Amino acid sequence: MSAALLLRQGLIREGLCSRCCAALTWQSQRDNSNKTSICRLNRRHFPRQYPTMLVQPDGSTINVRYVEPRKIIKLPVDLSTLSEAERKVRLQQRKPKQKLVIEDDLEEESFDVSQYSHLWKK
């Protein structure tokens, strides 16, 4: 549409300079219904998004929509806001645990079959 036609229809003001009017173009093509949306979409179904609970570091929860089907998303805790004792506990939890080594005492095995003979069928 030309600037003169828009001026006649009252869509633009008279105070615009000629350079602004020359650069003003209008497109009537819309790719989908979300193209001209300014605020949130007023519909219940969002394509490919699932209801998910978002847990913030302070423990509060928010129900959001997420692209992947997940039940809960936990945000990480900022270590700079924790006290020194809490920070040490958190860092200790991140370290790998020590594996316990179990040693078998083969010398002291004293298994006697005759102690369990009353359990057998005759």
Q: What is the pLDDT of residues 70-83, one digit of tens each?
A: 999 999 888 888 89
Quote the domain boundaries for residue 23.
1-27
Asked if 16 and 52 sit in the same domain, the reply is no
In a domain, 109, yes or no: no
Asked if 55 and 23 sit in the same domain, the reply is no
In this prediction, residues 94-108 reach a mean pLDDT of: 80
In a domain, 36, yes or no: no
Q: How many domains does the chain have?
A: 2
pTM listed for this prediction? 0.38
In a domain, 85, yes or no: yes
Asked if 53 and 88 sit in the same domain, the reply is yes
In a domain, 53, yes or no: yes
User: In sequence order, what DSSP letters do the residues of the chain get, joined into one string?
Assistant: --HHHHHHHTSS-TTS-HHHHHH-------SSTTTT--S----SPPTT-EEEEEEPTTS-EEEEEESS--SEEEPPP-GGGS-HHHHHHHHHHHSPPPPPPPPP--TT----GGGGGGGS--
Are 35 and 28 spatial neighbours (Cβ–Cβ below 8 Å)? no
The confidence score (pLDDT) of residue 46 equals: 56
In a domain, 1, yes or no: yes
Asked if 54 and 20 sit in the same domain, the reply is no
pLDDT tier at 111, thresholds 50, 70, 90: confident
